[in-house]
């Protein structure tokens, strides 16, 4: 069987699957709904992954009775603890997609997507928020990322829920006046936020905090103090996650890549990224802060290529399929390789 990598980036809102050969050539790529096994259940989540994996195999012209790949590289939202990674590895291995399998948290795929260096720090801010760090000697740092019970704050879900919280309190007098109230009333087409709450309570409408998240940035851009406080708190949290990881790995005074990704960060322009970059550089002047420019599933594929011992040129070829910009470190390694 030819060496192939089946890469899976399993996020909360979507799943991306990439099938590449050992030379970094993209054989197939498919996307589907988010199906974190910790949220939807192990069988249902893996059924979604398998359907996408089989679709990729068919797209690549593989026979249904042959293994999809030699290695599966799955980086999944919700794989936050070693025990969860072990359970997922065992369950995916039993599916028989490949000879070997590795499962990790999806933030590691973001880090690999954003850097060709041996280590670095990545912060993802999408539906939720998380960070990981990898030192050049292989040491890692990560957070439990289990929500409020593990000290987390941030992400699109958090901002959207808080927007509704502030709007309710602005209307009933418990909170500060805020333009978030008008923005949410317009979003739901109602004249009273209490009516919105009532409909959510009786499940007549769905509370989708991720859809409310962009309103926070829109209102903050109008100078609203309540929304600005939320944005400032998010910036502070991202900086804290990055700098704590760097400090734990003794990277504060080292040249280190800090990779930022996730929908909230990539879709807000310089509103968040600019201040985050400035504050990280104030704490760690040698850091290189960058917004990821290829999909995280590419990082999952690169980690898979690392596992099978692919040549540096494979990384160059894979990255070139997604962007005209290839990090200098990749070019240097490819040239020396």
Residue pLDDT, tens place only, 219-271: 999 999 999 999 999 999 999 999 999 999 999 999 999 999 999 998 888 89
Residue pLDDT, tens place only, 37-66: 988 999 999 999 999 999 999 999 999 989
Considering only residues 280 and 334, tell me which one the structure prediction assigns the higher pLDDT.
280
**Mean pLDDT of the residues in the chain:** 93
pTM of this structure: 0.91
pLDDT at 8: 98
User: Stretch 20-27: mean pLDDT, rounded?
Assistant: 97
- Decide if pLDDT at 10 tops 70: yes
Number of C-beta neighbours around residue 141 at 10 A: 17
Extract the runs of DSSP E, i.e. beta strands, from 107-224: 120-125, 129-134, 140-142
User: Stretch 85-107: mean pLDDT, rounded?
Assistant: 96
Q: Mean pLDDT lowest for which of 182-196, 205-219, 262-276, 320-334?
A: 320-334
- Decide if pLDDT at 332 tops 70: no
Residue 8 bridge partners (DSSP): 17, 74
Residue pLDDT, tens place only, 128-163: 999 999 999 999 999 999 989 999 999 999 999 999
Q: Using DSSP bridges, classify how beta strands 140-142 and 129-134 pair: parallel, antiparallel or unpaired.
A: antiparallel
pLDDT at 323: 77
What is the Rg, in whole angstroms, of the alpha carbon atoms belonging to the chain? 21
- Decide if pLDDT at 195 tops 70: yes
297 near 312, Cβ under 8 Å?
A: no
Instruction: Give 12's pLDDT tier (boundaries 50, 70, 90).
Output: confident
> Residues of the chain with pLDDT > 90: what percent?
88
pLDDT at 326: 55
152 near 159, Cβ under 8 Å?
A: no
- Decide if pLDDT at 13 tops 70: yes
Question: Going from the N-terminus, what domains does the chain have, and what CATH number goes with each?
Answer: 4-115+294-324 (3.30.420.40)
Instruction: Give 287's pLDDT tier (boundaries 50, 70, 90).
Output: very high
Six-digit token string for 53: 């994996």
CA distance 20 to 4: 6
User: Stretch 172-193: mean pLDDT, rounded?
Assistant: 98
Question: What string of DSSP letters covers 195-244?
Answer: HHHHHHHTTSS---HHHHHHHHHHHHTTT-HHHHHHHHHHHHHHHHHHHH
Cα–Cα distances (Å) from 137 to 183, 251, 252, 259, in that order, read 49, 12, 15, 19
84 near 221, Cβ under 8 Å?
A: no
């Amino acid at each position: 069987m030819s060496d192939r990598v089946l890469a899976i980036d399993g996020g909360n809102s979507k799943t991306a699957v990439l099938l590449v050969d050992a030379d970094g050539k993209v054989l197939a790529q498919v996307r589907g709904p988010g199906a974190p096994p910790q949220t939807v259940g192990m069988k249902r989540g893996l059924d979604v992954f398998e359907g996408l994996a089989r679709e990729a195999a068919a797209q690549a012209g593989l026979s249904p009775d042959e293994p999809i790949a030699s290695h599966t590289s799955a980086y999944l939202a919700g794989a936050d603890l070693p025990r969860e990674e072990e359970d997922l590895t065992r369950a995916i291995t039993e599916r028989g997609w490949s000879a070997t399998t590795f499962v990790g948290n999806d933030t590691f795929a973001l880090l690999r997507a954003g850097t060709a260096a041996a280590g670095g720090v990545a912060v993802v801010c999408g539906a939720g928020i998380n960070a990981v760090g990898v030192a050049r000697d292989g040491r890692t740092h990560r957070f439990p990322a289990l929500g409020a019970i593990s000290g987390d704050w941030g992400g699109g879900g958090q901002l959207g829920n808080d927007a509704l919280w502030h709007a309710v309190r602005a209307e009933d007098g418990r909170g500060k006046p805020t333009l978030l109230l008008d923005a949410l009333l317009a979003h739901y087409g109602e004249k009273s936020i209490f009516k919105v709450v009532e409909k959510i309570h009786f499940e007549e409408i769905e509370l989708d905090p991720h859809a409310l998240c962009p309103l926070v940035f829109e209102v903050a851009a109008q100078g609203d103090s309540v929304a600005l406080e939320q944005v400032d708190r998010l910036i502070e949290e991202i900086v804290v996650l990055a700098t704590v990881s760097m400090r734990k790995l003794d990277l504060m005074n080292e040249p280190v890549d800090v990779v930022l990704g996730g929908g909230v960060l990539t879709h807000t322009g310089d509103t968040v990224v600019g201040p985050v970059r400035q504050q990280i550089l104030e704490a760690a002047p040698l850091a290189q802060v960058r917004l990821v420019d290829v999909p995280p599933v590419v990082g999952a594929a690169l980690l898979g290529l690392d596992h099978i011992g692919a040549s540096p040129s494979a990384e160059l070829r894979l990255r070139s399929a997604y962007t005209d910009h290839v990090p200098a470190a990749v070019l240097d390694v490819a040239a020396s390789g």
